[in-house]
A and B are shown apart, each in its own frame.
Chain A
Amino acid sequence: MNRYFSRRLLTIHILGTVSFLACLAFANWQWNRAQVYVPPATAAVRTFEELSPLRDYLPASSVGVPTSVTGIWQPEQRILMSERITDGKSMVNPNPETEVIAEFVGPIGYWVVDIMELTDESSLGVVRGFTETPDQFALATGQATVAGAMQPSEDVPGLKLVNNIDLLTTNLIVNNSRTIAHDGYLVATNLEAGLTLVKPIFTEPIAKGLNWRNVAYTFNWVFFAGIVAMMWVRVVRDEFEFAKIAKNNAELGHDNES
């Protein structure tokens, strides 16, 4: 077989390609792992208008920031989110790539979500609280001022809840509103009679950050890829050198094996 296209050289190329691509795949994996959410310092109270622009997505910087809003309850549009607990954080699946069935600690019941029509006639979904028995008491109606914190729609990328529970999404709120609705929902911090306070999923604004350790590992794999490429080039170069020597020897009538 021709030395330049030998099976050995082909094996070297296959091994080189696979190892090089594997290193880059590992680098990519570490880079994805390096993207983390880093909670910044707790934010101060801000007005609802600042935090939740109408006809736009809820900014990540508005999430979890304390605020208050005034409007009129629309009790006939109530949404009951079942199979929930009071602690929103405990409903989050820490590993979004897998389905997780979690045994909840504490009572399982409903989040009572009411639509509030604000002074500008826009609608806002408000989690008023948690209850195991939603039919056994009446909640205040009419005009009210609610303090609380905005949360993103539960179908935002990167957020996954355990046990496949129904998600409280902007779509669901829009479908239950008569007027244009804000993105996300508000979790009330005022305690109403008969309800238990809901601890929101996000207590601080979502800020994207990098985990330096995984960044270091990313470059580690890039470094490895470089080394693989270097070894690959050297091995191939050696092969060609040997082929040249063998060819010269053959022309001179020497025995290649000696």
Chain B
Amino acid sequence: MNRDEFAKQWMFYRIMAVVVGTVLLVLTGFLISVRGLQNPEPAFYAAAWTAHGYLFPIYVVATFMLSTKLKWSFGKTILIMLAGTIPFMSFLTERNVAKEVSRTNDTTTGSFLV
């Protein structure tokens, strides 16, 4: 495991967190429109939820891979994975994880790299 490999996994996690967060946010907007305001379903609605169903497990993989590198506890890993199912939450966790990564880098450069 080298620094580049960690950087790749870190970037993979960030991209997935933002993608899953954005898709979920957009779909939540449509969910409120369809279920709450009784508007008709847009054509892409069902397909978009299905797509989210496939993006989320990829986010889970990204989180898991990062968790093994940052030595997160089991509970923390599960919570960060579940953050991908709550609108806005994946953005917040991504920011918190970013802080954790930069803190680790600042204090003990490369110490988390096995």
User: A residues bordering B, Cβ < 8 Å?
Assistant: 213, 216-217, 220, 223-224, 227, 230-231, 234, 238
Contact = CB atoms under 8 A, between A and B. Distances in A.
Interface in B20-74: 46, 50, 53-54, 57, 60-61, 64, 68
Contact of B50 (A213, A234, A238): A213
Interface of B: 46, 50, 53-54, 57, 60-61, 64, 68
A230 B64 CA distance: 10
A217 B53 contact: yes
Nearest to B60: A227
A238 B68 contact: yes
Contacts of B68: 234, 238
Contact of A216 (B53, B57, B61): B53
Given A220-B53, A223-B57, 18 more contacts: A213-B46, A213-B50, A216-B50, A216-B53, A217-B50, A217-B53, A220-B50, A220-B54, A220-B57, A224-B57, A227-B60, A227-B61, A227-B64, A230-B61, A231-B64, A234-B64, A234-B68, A238-B68
Contacts of A227: 57, 60-61, 64
A227 B55 CA distance: 13
Nearest to B61: A227
A224 B58 CA distance: 9
Contacts of B61: 227, 230
Contacts of B50: 213, 216-217, 220
Contacts of A238: 68
A213 B54 CA distance: 12
20 contacts: A213-B46, A213-B50, A216-B50, A216-B53, A217-B50, A217-B53, A220-B50, A220-B53, A220-B54, A220-B57, A223-B54, A223-B57, A224-B57, A227-B57, A227-B60, A227-B61, A230-B61, A234-B64, A234-B68, A238-B68
A6 to B, nearest CB: 15
A216 B50 CA distance: 7
Contacts of B54: 220, 223
Contacts of A217: 50, 53
Nearest to A214: B50
- Top 5 nearest A-B pairs (CB, nearest first) are A216-B50, A220-B53, A227-B57, A213-B46, A231-B64
